[in-house]
Amino acid sequence: MKKLLILLTAVIVSCSAWAQAQVSGKITGTVTDSLSGQGLAFASVSLLNPQGKTVNGALTDDNGNFVIENVPAGSYRLQAAFVGYLTKTSQLLELKQGQAELNAGALAIAPDAEVLEGVTVEGQKALYENKIDKLVYNAERDATNSGGNAGDVLRKVPMVTVDLEGSVQLRGSGNVRVLINGKPSSVIASNVEDALKMIPSDEIKSVEVITSPSAKYDAEGTAGIINIITKKKGIQGLSGNVNLSAGTRNSNAGLDVNYRKNRFGINAGLGGNLFNSNGYQSSERINNASDANRFLLQEGNNDMSNSGLRGQFGMDYDIDTTSNISTSIRFNDFSRDFDNYQGTIMMNAGEVPVSQFSRNTDGSMDMEGLDWTMDYRKTFKRPQQELTASAQYSKGTRGNGYDLFQTNEAGEINLREKSFNDNLNKETTFQVDYIHPFKKEGTVLEAGAKSILRDISSDYQFSIMDENGAYIPDPSRSNVFDYRQDVYAAYTTFAFKFGKKYGLKLGARWEQTQIDGDFASTGTSFSNTYGNLIPSITLSRELKPGQTIKASYSRRIQRPSLWFLNPYVDQSDSLNVRYGNPELKPELSNSYELGWSTFFKKTSLNASLYWRNTSDVIESVSTIEEGVTSTTFSNVSSSTSVGLNLFGSTQITPKWTVSGSVNLYDYRIKSNVDNQYSNESFMYNLNMNSNLSFGEGFSASLFAMFNSPRTTLQGTSSSWSMMSVGLKKELFDKKASIGINVNNPYKKHQEFKRDLTGVNFTQNSVFGFEFRSVSLNFSYRFGKVDFKQQRRRRGGIDNNDQKQGDGNQMGM
């Protein structure tokens, strides 16, 4: 390992020295938005000779800067283009003989649909932005998003799938980290599915998808990172936004206020939402190991009501022209009440009933989260050079329980029990990052360090009613669990350009992990320490202006979160129990990707081939013993995914844009335990989005998607599809809007089938969820509208490092 680090350092130093030694004639400049003055990343810049022929070109960087190298002396024009903007050609420029650099200044390009209202000019971003390192879905431009939640928005993001239970996958893998504004959330760390229901779609500005994170990012999240960006204002004066939505399934209300005066700015928000759902389920299990309990038939239904409250407050202050400090606090409160009914019949091999009973379960869950952050950013005279320091404290609590009574065939109550489980998740993070650009354009060194200190506890208590009507604690089914995980990391990346059109980015990250766990109920404990070297490399080549190809490799790890570790046993269904496994090891993945992207006229296209191999895969495993199916998690397998992702977006007319994506992949998974299980399947998912503007403030959107059947280690789940339609009308000089959104109009319930096969048993289940919804939405913006450009604020904490839970509720 030391030899590898020494070799990597030598490569970085030699590349740096080589990069700084290169000198040639070049033309530099910046492409900016004509409205805000902000630089446009990945805009195409073509170098034209006096006859108008393209002789060279480049793409802009994150700040909109570009450099065209190896330019002979002569006269030229620059032509700037970007999807959703008008193309602009500069006046004639002259690079004189012997001149090392010609700075062309700023090329300001305008959106291709400008609306002049007094002194206000409004431009629209494309619905999808296909950038070199990520794909961006501008959710605020999609009328079908009103009245839903974050899960509904993520279903429309290319490469991302969200099933009916709310489980999030990226390119077919659930090992994805979900961030809010580039930062982790204590609520999401506890349960990502419930957390997404708390975020109204009207609060989401955009969603970023990063499939090949560099060494700068935490090593966890083998599939990639999903970053949800909420709406914020960077304007002078007082402004705000009110959102109201009333629907058959979702109702939301929110108020956000922003104030900025010179160096000081504050923002605050408060909102709430209601979400109701009902469904049904049935299952049939065949136990080939038992003649007495051969067949199990179950049918039931459930009603669920959810409510959420959220708030946030933030401040930032520009100490001087190069330093900024900011702090924010965000809280969430989410509660659920549910009422479940289930009827059960157990039959012997002759299909004669041997047991028959029904269960009614009333329960509740409350989840609270608090995230406090502090960020400092220092910039320098050299562009892109900056130092950031961040600290974050997160605290999340989750309490849930149920009260159950069971009746026999005669309708008599023969069992009553109750349980509760309290979880506490505390997380403290410190992080420092430094970016150092060299004189040669595109040559950048990054370095940083980070520590994440986690403290997790779970207290599960179970009681059963005796013959006197008193609840008696059952110590054998109760558990107190404490889990501590500390992660210390350091990284460095080095990026440079060579030749005329090549770019290379090398990176290495070291993560040291310390784990300690205690079971107070049994007096046992465990600990583990391990280190991981995480390399990353990306090679890119510009084929021609606006067209790029890149190849990348990265190694990732995936530590299990509380969802998988919590040993709490959910016995609300006595014949199907679930629990976590505190002894899980992290997954380790190697990922390779080859991508191609192009921009031309009004169209963007992207294609990527990927291959991912994962060891110690965390999978749910079901076994049957004495007629009871037990489901837990274990490191039982290795998996391989080979896939192709295609994405395209085109502006058919100035008022009509269509986009779509296809993800195709072959998935193979195999058990490492005596080759007991293996499975493989070809899977795919498709989505399409169409947005049309009718004029006079009217616009409409249509979204449709289809997911193929999904394969797991022990079974499969069925395919499913959905569609949504939205219509919006802008009012009061575009300060307000009213709209209607219909989700899944053709079918009230979505049905979801799951087949499971284990040693000596098979189980087939059907789940139905109410999915059709209609919502009426209203939004109003108030205050001063001043498009004064604010300095970009970077840095902050991204704890993108834990495997999140799936849609199984498990009572945690």
CATH at residue 100: 2.60.40.1120
Distance, CA of 344 to CA of 630 (rounded, Å) = 17
What are the residues facing 627 on neighbouring strands? Answer: none
> Mean pLDDT, to the nearest integer, of 300-314?
93
Q: Closest Cα partner for 784 from 314, 259, 262, 270?
A: 259
> Mean pLDDT, to the nearest integer, of 429-452?
92
pLDDT value at residue 556 = 84
* Tokens of residue 804, six digits: 């999140």
Among 114, 147, 164, the domain-final residue is: 114
Which span out of 31-40, 652-661, 679-688, 795-804 was modeled with the highest average pLDDT?
679-688
> Mean pLDDT, to the nearest integer, of 552-563?
81
Which span out of 239-248, 598-607, 795-804 was modeled with the highest average pLDDT?
239-248
pLDDT value at residue 794 = 45
Sheet holding 135-137: strands in order across?
A: 128-130, 135-137, 204-210, 224-230, 176-180
Conformation bin of residue 586: beta by default, left when phi > 0, alpha when psi is -120 to 50: beta
Banded model confidence at residue 812, pLDDT cuts 50, 70, 90: very low
CB atoms within 10 A of CB 503: 20
What are the residues facing 377 on neighbouring strands? Answer: 324, 388
Banded model confidence at residue 189, pLDDT cuts 50, 70, 90: low
Q: Is 122 part of any domain?
A: no
When comparing pLDDT for 711 and 162, which is higher? 711
CATH number of the domain residue 748 falls in = 2.40.170.20
* Tokens of residue 237, six digits: 């004066």
When comparing pLDDT for 157 and 391, which is higher? 391
> Mean pLDDT, to the nearest integer, of 749-757?
89
Q: Give the model confidence (pLDDT) of 679-707 as tens digits.
A: 889 999 898 988 888 888 898 989 898 99
pLDDT value at residue 363 = 93
Instruction: Assess whether 464 and 549 both reside in one domain.
Output: yes
Within 13 Å of residue 440, how many CA atoms lie on the same side as its CB?
23
Do 658 and 690 touch, CB atoms closer than 8 A? yes
Instruction: List phi, psi (to 5°) of 181.
Output: 55, 40
> Mean pLDDT, to the nearest integer, of 172-196?
67
Q: How many domains does the chain have?
A: 2
pLDDT value at residue 562 = 64
Is residue 9 pLDDT above 50, yes or no? no
SS3 for 697?
coil
What are the residues facing 93 on neighbouring strands? Answer: 76
Distance, CA of 773 to CA of 191 (rounded, Å) = 24
Instruction: Assess whether 647 and 717 both reside in one domain.
Output: yes
Instruction: Assess whether 170 and 102 both reside in one domain.
Output: no
Is residue 164 pLDDT above 60, yes or no? no
> Mean pLDDT, to the nearest integer, of 264-284?
91
Query: Which residues neighbour 7 within 8 Å (Cβ) at sequence distance 6 or greater?
Result: none
Instruction: Assess whether 269 and 396 both reside in one domain.
Output: yes
Instruction: Assess whether 104 and 133 both reside in one domain.
Output: no
Instruction: List phi, psi (to 5°) of 6.
Output: -65, -45
The DSSP output letter for 12 is H
Q: Is 290 part of any domain?
A: yes
pLDDT value at residue 83 = 62
Angle, CA of 259, 231 and 647, to the nearest 5°: 155
Q: Which of 440-444, 501-505, 672-676, 749-753 has the lowest mean pLDDT?
A: 672-676
When comparing pLDDT for 479 and 615, which is higher? 615
pLDDT value at residue 41 = 73
* Tokens of residue 87, six digits: 């193309």
Among 53, 82, 114, the domain-final residue is: 114
Q: Give the model confidence (pLDDT) of 615-636 as tens digits.
A: 888 888 888 887 788 888 888 7
CB atoms within 10 A of CB 11: 12
What are the residues facing 15 on neighbouring strands? Answer: none
Q: Closest Cα partner for 473 from 486, 459, 487?
A: 459
Is residue 369 pLDDT above 80, yes or no? yes
Q: Is 554 part of any domain?
A: yes
Distance, CA of 433 to CA of 214 (rounded, Å) = 14
Residue 29 sits in which domain range? 2-114
Q: Cα 641 to chain center, whole Å?
A: 20
Distance, CA of 696 to CA of 741 (rounded, Å) = 19
Which span out of 37-46, 126-135, 568-577, 604-613 was modeled with the highest average pLDDT?
604-613
> Mean pLDDT, to the nearest integer, of 32-50?
78
Instruction: Assess whether 95 and 152 both reside in one domain.
Output: no
Banded model confidence at residue 220, pLDDT cuts 50, 70, 90: low
Instruction: Assess whether 363 and 388 both reside in one domain.
Output: yes
Is residue 12 pLDDT above 70, yes or no? no
Do 327 and 374 touch, CB atoms closer than 8 A? yes
Q: Closest Cα partner for 502 from 539, 529, 546, 463?
A: 539
Conformation bin of residue 166: beta by default, left when phi > 0, alpha when psi is -120 to 50: left
The DSSP output letter for 202 is G
Q: Which of 377-381, 598-602, 776-780 has the lowest mean pLDDT?
A: 598-602
pLDDT value at residue 489 = 96
Q: Which of 14-28, 234-248, 406-420, 767-781 has the lowest mean pLDDT?
A: 14-28
Do 144 and 726 touch, CB atoms closer than 8 A? yes
Q: Is 812 part of any domain?
A: no
Banded model confidence at residue 470, pLDDT cuts 50, 70, 90: very high
Is residue 529 pLDDT above 80, yes or no? yes
SS3 for 562?
helix
pLDDT value at residue 172 = 61
Mean pLDDT of the chain: 81
Is residue 598 pLDDT above 90, yes or no? no
Q: Is 808 part of any domain?
A: no
Task: Please give the biggest Cα pair distance in the chain.
Answer: 101
Instruction: Assess whether 645 and 718 both reside in one domain.
Output: yes
Share above pLDDT 90 across residues of the chain, in percent, rounded to a whole number: 31
Q: Is 119 part of any domain?
A: no
Q: Is 395 part of any domain?
A: yes
Is residue 8 pLDDT above 60, yes or no? no
Instruction: List phi, psi (to 5°) of 494.
Output: -140, 125
> Mean pLDDT, to the nearest integer, of 437-453?
91
Among 76, 92, 114, the domain-final residue is: 114
Q: Closest Cα partner for 334 from 287, 301, 356, 366?
A: 366
> Mean pLDDT, to the nearest integer, of 798-806?
54
pLDDT value at residue 197 = 67
Query: Which residues neighbour 625 within 8 Å (Cβ) at sequence distance 6 or greater?
Result: none
pLDDT value at residue 713 = 83
SS3 for 501?
coil
pTM: 0.70
Q: Which residues of 532-566 are buried (b: 16+ CB within 10 A; e: fewer)?
A: bebebbbebebeebbbbbbebebbbbbbbbbbbbb
Q: Is 451 part of any domain?
A: yes
Instruction: Assess whether 9 and 141 both reside in one domain.
Output: no
Instruction: Assess whether 78 and 133 both reside in one domain.
Output: no
Instruction: Assess whether 74 and 158 both reside in one domain.
Output: no
Query: Is residue 260 exposed (0-12), middle (13-18) or buried (19+ Cβ within 10 Å)?
Result: buried
Instruction: Assess whether 283 and 377 both reside in one domain.
Output: yes
pLDDT value at residue 219 = 66
Is residue 356 pLDDT above 50, yes or no? yes
End-to-end CA distance of the chain: 40
Distance, CA of 438 to CA of 250 (rounded, Å) = 52
